[in-house]
Chains A and B, each alone.
Chain A
Amino acid sequence: MLDLARLQFAVTGSLHFLFVVLTLGLAPLVAIMQTRHAITGKPVFERMTRFWGQIYVINYALGVFTGLVMEFQFGLSWSGLTHYAGAVFGAPLAIESLVAFFLESTFLGLWIFGWNRLPKKLHLACIWLVTLTAYASAFWILVANSFLQHPAGSVQQGDHLVLTSFGALLTNPSLIMAFPHIIGASLFTGGFVIMGCSAYHLFRRTTEQEFFRRSLRTGVVWALVGTTVASGFGYAQYGILDEIQPGKLNSGVPQIALGIMILIGQGIHFTVMLCLLPLLWRDRLARLRWVQPILMIITPLPFVAAIMGWLVREIGRQPWLVYGRLRVADAMSPGLTKGMVTFSLIAFVGVLCLLAVTDYLLIARAVRRGPAHVALGAAEPAEPTPSPALVL
């Protein structure tokens, strides 16, 4: 039963991050595109904003669905955690939902439905606010996660932990290198998705060559920024781990996962820096047709690396839920039966996997149809008569 509950958390958590990592990666890039349109007034930047913005928004849906399960899952299956550490762990989660996600969702609604309705500058402000609050959200979630890795800023009082230093929670050594590492991984993912989709259109020689030459450049440059940041702050975590979680990287799965992640991160880092970036000169990469299928095939790699990273971090924490303080086995909700956990596992994992596959197919379709068929922000030609009011 413990394994079923763990499996449920691992699958929903992994699914969540597959979508969130792209959300975090695309949001700033879409914001930059829209800003360039606001500054230069060039239509190509507006088209890029709408096309990549639509990919971002379709992807966003699954981030929300899986995130809802994540938020409730602690109390559902791991009430031992809420009892023992809720007074510390709950604070960053409460702040995340109240301060960060509340605003992110509200501003995203304004951005999606505010096309052609909000003044252009305010509409632009919305996507920047979405980006800012999305990163704030990631920060607070990682504060909470880092507490599980290294319960800084707390002491045990009776049968539970109490918060003694908020500062220690925010300067947790497990957090300070991991947060920029995740930002890097996200930009790497956002850049790679833009690069791979652009390669597809360039290879197919669709009519949108100019659009995707520009996009390809954006993708390659941000993949370089992302891999540089991700690998730098990845290696920076070695010394910290030696101090706070010694031996974490020596056990089976984390060791293999770490190897795969480094192979992908470092391999792509050098490939982008030494091969792809120089080929951007005079748009050579956009004309090198034989390279483009390779760019398409390697597009999923940042997602693989991201999952590997979480496997290292979370399996390496076992058997602890709160490192050194609370075991996973002792944190399960009392009174859970195997039937209940099986029911929720099938319900959540079944529904979310089906929706995730559907979502990826919709993204693939939106990419294939290209910038000429974007629903986001599209204005239909004027109708001759305004429709009358609905009478109920």
Chain B
Amino acid sequence: MEIIWLAVFAVLLIGYFALEGFDIGVGMMLPLLSRASERAGEPGTRQRHRDRVVAAMAPFVLANEVWLVAAAGTFFGVFPSLDGTVLSGLYPLVVTLLVSWILRDAGLWFRRRLDDRGWQAFWDVVLCAASWGIALTWGAVLASIVRGLPAQPFDVLGLLYGAVVAAAFAFHGHAFVAWRLSAQSEAGSNRRRLLLSAVVAALPVAVPLVALVPSLLDHTAPSATLGVISLIALPVAPILVGAQVWVWRTFGPSRSTGAAARTPSFF
């Protein structure tokens, strides 16, 4: 049972990096990606290009970011004695991560709510800066956990690992936009590249997780607790997977035709 729940937690956290990684990467690369779209000779204003890039990831964000919500909830339920130690031990980093996450989401939810160029540009800056904040803070968080929660979490090593996470996410975001906005003819190679970039985005968390397996296994909740969570959560697992698959089947690159193509993205 402990092994199952450790695996569920690992899948959720690695899944978060592999999936939400491209949303964060697209946010970080928003100015570059929209300029690339501009240079490619597409019609429209600069804002339209940014809209197009954000619209590429928009239908996936809610389904992706929730992997971290689930990972955090599972962490609390499965490793209750670690939850408080780790989160309070990383206090300033967790606060920075949450504020960045909230601001990134606010950028997405708010950017198209007013037809005003200044308003949209402002939230796009927030979206981009907060995406960088998430990537860099994740690096510092992971570097800090691996070293046993040092008293000073903001340091050079954390920043360096943040750069690694940021680079992986940026690569993943780039691959995702190429896949989502690709022509039919290039779909195959773009899909392969997206899978590769998902692995790259997952590695910065997967490697430390493997190293942490022994100490995680030492701190699992009593079997009565795990039994209760299993009783409710495991039967629902196929529905969770099904819902995620449904998102990817609905919003793949080749489906945007007819009325769907003419529906402006909500984000």
Give chain A's interface residues, CB within 8 Å of chain B: 57-58, 61, 64-65, 68-69, 71-72, 74-83, 86-91, 93-99, 101-103, 105-110, 112-118, 160, 162-164, 166, 333-336, 340, 343-344, 347-348, 351-352, 355, 358-359, 362, 365-366, 375-383, 386-392
B124 beta carbon closer than 8 Å to chain A: no
Q: Would B264 and A109 count as touching, CB distance under 8 A?
A: no
The distance in angstroms between the C-alpha atoms of A160 and B221, with both chains bound, is 11
Shortest CB-to-CB span from B220 to chain A, Å, is: 10
Q: B19-47: which residues lie under 8 A (CB-CB) from chain A?
A: 33, 36-37, 40, 42-43
Please tell me if B95 contacts chain A, counting CB pairs below 8 Å.
Answer: yes
Residues of chain A within 8 A of B117, CB atoms compared = none
B218 within 8 A of A: no
**Selected contact of A390 from candidates B40, B244, B260, B266, CB within 8 Å:** B40
Is B77 a contact of A93 with CB atoms below 8 Å?
yes
* Chain A residues with CB below 8 A from B83, complex form: 74-75, 79, 82, 86, 90
Assess the A110–B76 pair: CB atoms within 8 A.
no
Q: A87-B80, A392-B36 are in contact. Are A76 and B251 (CB under 8 A)?
A: no
Which of A78, A83, A101 contacts B70 (CB under 8 A)?
A101
Nearest CB of chain B from residue A375's CB, rounded to whole Å: 6
* Interface 9-residue window, one of B54-62, B162-170, B194-202, B204-212: B54-62
Given that A75-B83, A380-B263 are contacting pairs, would A87 and B250 also be in contact in the complex, using a CB cutoff of 8 Å? no
B222 at the A/B interface (Cβ < 8 Å)?
Answer: yes
Given contacts A75-B76, A93-B73, contact A65 B105 (CB under 8 A): yes
The 9 closest A-B pairs by CB, nearest first: A86-B80, A79-B84, A94-B77, A97-B73, A75-B87, A109-B62, A333-B88, A82-B84, A389-B183
Number of A-B residue pairs at CB separation under 8 A:
266
Give every chain A residue within 8 A of B85 (Cβ-Cβ): 79, 83
Interface residues of B in 230-265 (CB under 8 A from A): 231-233, 236, 239-240, 243-244, 246-247, 250-251, 255, 258-265
Q: Which of A76, A89, A94 sits near B91, CB closer than 8 Å? A: A76
Query: For the complex, what is the distance from the CA of A382 to the CA of B257, rounded to whole Å?
Result: 11
B265 contact set on A, CB distance < 8 A:
113
Contacting pair A94 B76 (CB below 8 A): yes
Q: Which of A78, A91, A96 has the most CB of B within 10 A?
A: A91
Q: Does B78 contact A (CB under 8 A)?
A: yes
Prevailing SS type, chain B contact patch: helix
Residues of B within 8 A of A (CB): 33, 36-37, 40, 42-43, 52, 58-63, 65-67, 69-70, 72-74, 76-78, 80-81, 83-89, 91-92, 94-95, 98-99, 101-103, 105-106, 109-110, 112-114, 174, 177-178, 181-183, 186, 221-222, 224-225, 228-229, 231-233, 236, 239-240, 243-244, 246-247, 250-251, 255, 258-266
Tell me if B240 and A390 are in contact (CB < 8 A).
no
Name the CB-closest residue of A to B88: A333
Q: A91 touching B225 by the CB < 8 A rule?
A: yes
Q: What are 20 sample pairs from A and B whose C-beta atoms fall under 8 A apart?
A: A58-B109, A75-B88, A83-B81, A90-B77, A90-B221, A99-B232, A102-B243, A106-B247, A112-B266, A113-B58, A113-B251, A113-B266, A115-B263, A163-B228, A333-B84, A344-B91, A362-B113, A388-B42, A391-B40, A392-B178
